[in-house]
Structure 1
Amino acid sequence: MVSPLFYSHLSLLILASILWILATVEAQRNVSVGDSLSANDKTMAWQSPSGDFAFGFQSIPTKQDRFLLAIWYAKIQERTIVWYANRDNPETDRDSTIELDNSGHLVLKDPKGKELWRSQRLTDGSQVSHAAMLDTGNFVIASKNSTNIWESFKYPTDTILPSQELDMGDHLLSTLVETSYSKGKYQLRFNSESFILNQIDMFTGKPYEAYFNFGNGSRLVFTESGYIRIQNLNGTLVEVAPINAVPKPDLYYYRATLDFYGVFNLYYYPRNPSGGGSWSVLWFRPMNICRRFINSTITSGRATFGTGPCGYNSICEPIQGRPNCTCPPGFSFLDDNNQYAGCKQDYASYPADCNPDGSTIGEDRFEFKPMSFADFPLGDYGVIKPATELECKQSCLLDCSCAVAILQDPTLSKDGNGTCWKKKIPLSNGWFDRESVDRTALFK
């Protein structure tokens, strides 16, 4: 005779199976035409089958009642955003909505019904079937003939994910600062025969020349195993990153992001963190972004690489792969909330301070503040050699145009002669390095 306890256990097993099936069906539910989400409902999002990724509205931590239409890592505490819509004006209000319409577009509207953004179509004439958030992090709109009408992987922002590729017409664009989603000043793009990093002019959007080159190739491939490779024109894949083996993909999440300070970072994060987790850098390029801008300009002989990581009149110091920006003596940040925007002189010389011959009026009002291991290698307008420290200071002091003099100490010079380089405002590509810079900057 079968025990009643057996039937009790069997009933519980069947119930658990039914609940699991229902949960699986719900997790894999496609987004139907007419389905929508609202920014005012934080609990609603379109999730991938595994729950690793979600598509919907994310609140902006630094701005009350402001949201992004985004894709993010849904299982980790940080909710890291890997894609967002409408880069020209990404922020939306509470009560904004996103809908999959019957023409096969995602349509973002503000609370008054004004259209803010709509997805482009990759194919014309196909009838929409559904949309879905995939476990790769790719959000797709599928047609009835099983092709993708649109997919987020084809319109990357500042991040790519494993299984994603960048082709010749694709690019990544950094954010402006760490806490903002506005367009930044760095690009990763294909140019002629290779993928490069370059700054862009913030006023025109035009690119400067490359400050880093990943090597020749027509496609950048982020593999599912966590490697970044370049595909040559003949189809060969060349390893770019990382140099060493990556942690197991089934244990870690990956992303590669062009960060707001101009470094392309490959990150990993434990899938099942114990006691909390965080993104760690596995690989990054360039290795020293402060020096990279300087070396690129010196090598080419042309100052066509942009303002550098820290902007004008600032000092760049590489710390753990990213630029640390400071203002030299006598200068302060243009924006106290953004150390990467550059610095301004606390006191600037004006025509009233200058004699007709260009000499300084009342030079006794000025003093020099030295900064060892600092240099502005570009843009000197006058060079004095040989020169002592006294001669260097005197020349800059009497010169109304001189804002800083760079002194090469005679005892550190190969030929035993000191050199003095005079600089005007604005100063570009300043950097600080105790090991590499053997000069002293004398700020007037």
Structure 2
Amino acid sequence: MAAIFLFLLLLLLLQVAAAQQGNISLGASLYPNNNSYWLSNSGQFAFGFYRQGNDLAVGIWFEKTNPKTVIWTANRDAVKQEPLPNDVQLTVRDSGVELSSTSKNAFLIPISNSSQPAFRAAMLDSGNFVLYNSDSKIIWQTFDVPTDTIVSGQRLLAGTKLISSISNMNHASGRFQVIMQSDGNLVQYPVGPFTLSTDQYAYWASGTVGAGNNVSLNLDQNGGLYLLNSTGFKIKSIAGQQGLSMYPGYRLTIDADGILRLYSYSLVKNGSWSIEWSSTDNKCAPLGLCGLNSYCVLVEQEPSCVCLPGFTFIYEGQRYLGCKRNLSAVGCKGENETSYSIADVDNIDWENTPYSILSLDKTACKEDCLMDCNCEVAVFRDQQCKKQKLPLRFGRTGPTDMAVTTFVKKGTTDESSGTNRVSKGRKKVEIVVNSYYLVGILVIIQLGIL
């Protein structure tokens, strides 16, 4: 009888300890340079201040991995607008988690629509930072407001999304997102206006449209990644382990390069991360990896941005920012005559936003754009000539079976050979350019002799 009593007492103590893991009382504070974070009970996760380049940020990270891996950041875009001062302190209060300083006005880490006062907080071993009310019920948790990552035991609910970070060192919002849509489909898009979240701009999807309006993405303790409907039925397994896992930690992250990856780590391997699954093996697949008027190509399986002919990078040190014309823009010049040529770029796919679509063969498409003073670019595909206005977006290498050519109009002031048009309004005269006679011919044309 005594043994049973001792067993029940031990079980009760374990339950109390589990309930109190990482427990943080009201009034507890953190500081950037001293007592800067709170650990979960096992020491697996930490919540507090971390350095983001030269700036401070507040977040959650894997404490035992090498390097430490951030999985959540509070007010992730606020630092870009106004960095946190060095004298900032973080305090748990009944109103929430508060950042304050002696030199700045206090502001709050957002609390999700909770009108209840907080009674205590906890950094759980699941990687979830939570606030409790006086009845020990969770009134706010970071699992409900993910940034670019979910971890084991976490779900991405219908209508919520993950947004990539700018880089591994800068966890402000980046250029890519994955959305658990209300139609049951898990889809990746570039970040942008609402209109970008349409089929045209999806670069990966789970293919589960129509599965229900309460489908969730789930990552379990064994690394299983799957979609559940509102009844708990598994409608699709995306990735997963068979049986119990040998790894202590998993995370699903939409990385800065726009690819969704499932990672595992093992303490046996010094806490290093291994890729278990990724949404694509093609690193040029994410739309918008390269900026305006540029396109992505693979060089030894790594992405590289290339400018259209007649364009140069806006900033050589950050090629993903896109390209600009190295000459003045083409167009109708009234009575001023301007000479242009057409450069061909093969097998590059673009955003489909033509201002004119014509049924022409490839040669006729090229000629039509060259003679149209409003045409800057034409994309020829499937016997259709689609004339475009710049800038072009979302350029990337197309499928190997895709026959597409981009015709780019550019100035010919620096060329000594080729077939060109001298345009005067809508009047075109064909000439064969020769470096010895070009100047003389242009003078004759201007004098009206031809």
For normalisation by structure 1, the TM-score amounts to 0.73
Cα pair distance change 1:441/1:40, threshold 3 Å: same
> Which residue of structure 2 lines up, in the alignment, with residue 229 of structure 1?
226
Instruction: Give the counterpart of 1:47 among 19, 39, 49.
Output: 39
1:166-208 CA-to-partner distances (Å, cap 9, x unmatched) read 2235332233455433333433334332244354764x66763
Shift of the alpha carbon at 1:273? Answer: 1.7
Cα pair distance change 1:138/1:291, threshold 3 Å: closer
Separation in structure 1 between the aligned mates of residue 397 and residue 195 of structure 2, nearest angstrom: 29
Q: Which runs of 5+ in 2 are unaligned?
A: 1-16, 410-450
Task: State how 1:239-258 maps to structure 2 within 5 Å.
Answer: 239-242=236-239, 245=241, 249-258=245-254
Give the share of equivalent positions with the same residue, in percent: 29
Look up the equivalent residue of 1:402 and give its one-letter code: C
Separation in structure 2 between the aligned mates of residue 291 and residue 69 of structure 1, nearest angstrom: 32
Look up the equivalent residue of 1:33 and give its one-letter code: L
Shift of the alpha carbon at 1:113? Answer: 4.8
Separation in structure 2 between the aligned mates of residue 122 and residue 190 of structure 1, nearest angstrom: 21
> Which residue of structure 1 lines up, in the alignment, with residue 24 of structure 2?
31
> Which residue of structure 1 lines up, in the alignment, with residue 425 of structure 2?
none
SS at match of 1:31: strand
Count matched residues: 380
1:13-71 CA-to-partner distances (Å, cap 9, x unmatched) read xxxxxxxxxxx99x955222111111133x6310112211111111013xx2x111010
Instruction: Give the counterpart of 1:315 among 295, 311, 316.
Output: 295
> Which residue of structure 2 lines up, in the alignment, with residue 186 of structure 1?
176
Answer yes or no: is the 8 Å Cα contact 1:286–1:292 preserved in 2: no
SS at match of 2:268: coil
Cα pair distance change 1:337/1:222, threshold 3 Å: farther
> Which residue of structure 1 lines up, in the alignment, with residue 275 of structure 2?
281
Cα pair distance change 1:346/1:271, threshold 3 Å: farther
Look up the equivalent residue of 1:271 and give its one-letter code: L
Task: State how 1:12-411 maps to structure 2 within 5 Å.
Answer: 30-41=23-34, 44-61=36-53, 64=54, 66-90=55-79, 91-101=83-93, 103=94, 105-120=96-111, 124-125=115-116, 128=119, 130-197=120-187, 199=189, 202=192, 208-210=197-199, 211=202, 212-214=204-206, 215=208, 216-217=211-212, 218=214, 219-242=216-239, 245=241, 249-274=245-270, 278-285=272-279, 308-317=288-297, 324-349=304-329, 354-355=333-334, 361-363=337-339, 366-376=340-350, 378-380=352-354, 381-383=356-358, 385-388=360-363, 393-406=366-379
> Which residue of structure 1 lines up, in the alignment, with residue 392 of structure 2?
427
Answer yes or no: is the 8 Å Cα contact 1:261–1:323 preserved in 2: no
Task: Please identify, of 424-433 and 151-160, the stretch whose mean Cα deviation from structure 2 is larger.
Answer: 424-433
Separation in structure 1 between the aligned mates of residue 50 and residue 408 of structure 2, nearest angstrom: 46
1:103-149 CA-to-partner distances (Å, cap 9, x unmatched) read 15111124525223234166544660x32211111112233322113
Separation in structure 2 between the aligned mates of residue 208 and residue 168 of structure 1, nearest angstrom: 15
Task: Give the CA RMSD over aligned residues.
Answer: 3.6
SS at match of 2:24: coil
> Which residue of structure 2 lines up, in the alignment, with residue 17 of structure 1?
none
Shift of the alpha carbon at 1:425? Answer: 1.0
Separation in structure 1 between the aligned mates of residue 155 and residue 346 of structure 2, nearest angstrom: 45
Separation in structure 1 between the aligned mates of residue 353 and residue 116 of structure 2, nearest angstrom: 56
Shift of the alpha carbon at 1:150? Answer: 2.0
Cα pair distance change 1:383/1:119, threshold 3 Å: closer
Separation in structure 1 between the aligned mates of residue 164 and residue 310 of structure 2, nearest angstrom: 31
Separation in structure 1 between the aligned mates of residue 267 and residue 396 of structure 2, nearest angstrom: 38
Separation in structure 2 between the aligned mates of residue 249 and residue 271 of structure 1, nearest angstrom: 13
Answer yes or no: is the 8 Å Cα contact 1:119–1:150 preserved in 2: no
1:397-430 CA-to-partner distances (Å, cap 9, x unmatched) read 333333334467xxxx9xxxx8755433122332
SS at match of 2:23: coil
Separation in structure 2 between the aligned mates of residue 147 and residue 127 of structure 1, nearest angstrom: 10
Q: Which runs of 5+ in 1 are unaligned?
A: 1-23, 294-307
Separation in structure 2 between the aligned mates of residue 54 and residue 250 of structure 1, nearest angstrom: 23
Shift of the alpha carbon at 1:354? Answer: 2.6
Look up the equivalent residue of 1:97 and give its one-letter code: Q
Answer yes or no: is the 8 Å Cα contact 2:133–2:139 preserved in 1: yes
Look up the equivalent residue of 2:111 and give its one-letter code: Q
For normalisation by structure 2, the TM-score amounts to 0.72
Cα pair distance change 1:434/1:348, threshold 3 Å: farther
Separation in structure 2 between the aligned mates of residue 206 and residue 424 of structure 1, nearest angstrom: 19
